[in-house]
Amino acid sequence: MYTRISKFAAQPVLDSTAEVASTTDPTGIGDAPAAAAHRLTANVPNPFRDTTEFQFYADGAMSITADVFDVSGRRVATQRVDASRAGWQPIVVSDRDANGVELSSGVYFVRVRAGETVATRKMVIMR
């Protein structure tokens, strides 16, 4: 809850005694545990033309699934990675859909699932 606005700041100042707003995700995807956000890095490069890479931290041997969605929520591609050990695992995502057809320029979302962990990041394809 915002209680006052500073005349010198462009954004409202949050009063430390105010209630913290709910973290419910307005997209309907749901809340991910706070730790999950730190397990998936931003993709590099972003924007990208051919391929981009995320890094995901696996606690141990596990299967990692990365689903790519367009802005309308349609799944356009899926990438699977089998982590054989704990540590950072590369997830390479291409500019192609599940049928090998080049995706158009625009904003896409990648949702990474591994065990109970789910994290989502935004990426941009630019031609």
* 3-26 pLDDT, tens digit each: 444 444 444 444 334 343 334 445
Delineate the domains of the chain, giving CATH numbers in brackets.
29-125 (2.60.40.4070)
Please provide the DSSP assignment of 59-72 as one string.
SSSEEEEEEEEETT
- Asked if 98 and 76 touch (Cβ cutoff 8 Å), the reply is yes
The reported pTM is 0.69
Nearest-angstrom CA–CA distance, 117 and 38: 11
Kindly report, residue by residue over 94-107, the tens digit of the pLDDT.
999 999 999 999 99
